[in-house]
Amino acid sequence: MKIRFGVGIGAETSADGLAALVDRLESSGVDSLWFSELVYTEAVDPFVGMAFALGRTSRLKVGTSVAILPGRHPVLVAKQLASLAAVAPKRVLPVFGLQSAIPAERAIFEVPAGKRAAVFDEALDLLRSVLAAPDVSFDGEFFSVRNAAVAPRPDQPLDIWLGGSAPGALRRIGRYGDGWLGSFLTPDEARRGREQIERAANDADRRIEADHFGISLAVADGELTDDMIDVVRRRRPDIDPSELIAPDWPALHRQLDGYLAAGLTKFVIRPAGKVPMDAFVDRFAAELLPREN
């Protein structure tokens, strides 16, 4: 199975430094760049960032980690993805999630009260249908379209990966996803998540490729700060923060060994804290590119 590492960026990377970062990743041989959905920050919108990076490169893959689908019309999302795939074939890596991890941003992605999971399921169904077929009519609880024809369609439908780790999310990935990008999980939790997804896919008479399981990880520059610890404790108060954010690169390698043993092979690595991205990319390339196969 192919082991690959990509660079994740968040609120610390603004538009001013994006061109230099993209050029550095392309020239360094890094596999992929991942944009987060962070509306109320200096971070570039993930779809705008993907278009910019793909138009500036010829090799670098670009993805979202993760974009929110409920609250967007899936036909418009399909048009965006199809357009990106036409510009840069085989380099578009969309990952979608249920809702923002930032409470203040959740109201932006408006759906009927209490229906977010149902909207997500239906949106995924419609999104995949429009990407796969030239003429789609669809009647659902939340979406209804006639003769939806998104072009140019990819020669092969794009892989749609999903995030999440709750039981419902894992079942959804098995039913609708082509891959999984988890976060804030220990290796043992990631193993169990992968196994639950595979069971759900089997129940739906589907199969997810064995190398389509990944996780987003963060690495600090020597130690965890109080802010980093607070971030983990807000998300996972039950886990030692050093298990979810690597204090340094040797610790990250130990974590990676655990995730590889758990059956994960795709990794989005982001800097924890304010680290100059040029220095981070240099260290990333030195530490992680030798681990690819």
The DSSP annotation for 24-80 comes to HHHHHT--EEEE---TTSSBPPHHHHHHHHHHH-SS-EEEES-EE-TTS-HHHHHHH
pLDDT value for 119: 98
Query: What is the structure's pLDDT at 250?
Result: 98
> What is the end-to-end Cα distance of the chain in Å, rounded?
8
Cβ pair 218, 246 in contact under 8 A: yes
Burial class (CB within 10 angstroms; exposed 0-12, middle 13-18, buried 19+) of 64:
buried
The tokens for 266 are: 């795709």
Half-sphere exposure of 95 (CA within 13 A, CB side): 28
pLDDT at residue 157, rounded to an integer: 79
Mean confidence (pLDDT) of the chain: 96
Taken in order of first residue, the domains within the chain and their CATH numbers are 4-291 (3.20.20.30)
| pLDDT over 90 at 138, yes or no | yes
Q: What is the mean predicted confidence (pLDDT) over 87-99? A: 97
Question: Which of 123, 133, 136 lies closest to 172, judged by CA?
Answer: 123
**174 contacts 199 by C-beta, under 8 angstroms:** yes
Backbone angles phi, psi at 48, to 5 degrees: -65, -45
Q: How far is CA 12 from the centre of its chain?
A: 18
- pLDDT, tens digit (0-9, with 9 covering 90-100), for 204-247: 999 999 999 999 999 999 999 999 999 999 999 999 999 999 99
DSSP annotation of 17: G
71: left (phi over 0), alpha (psi -120 to 50) or beta: left
Q: What is the pLDDT of residues 255-272, one digit of tens each?
A: 999 999 999 999 999 999
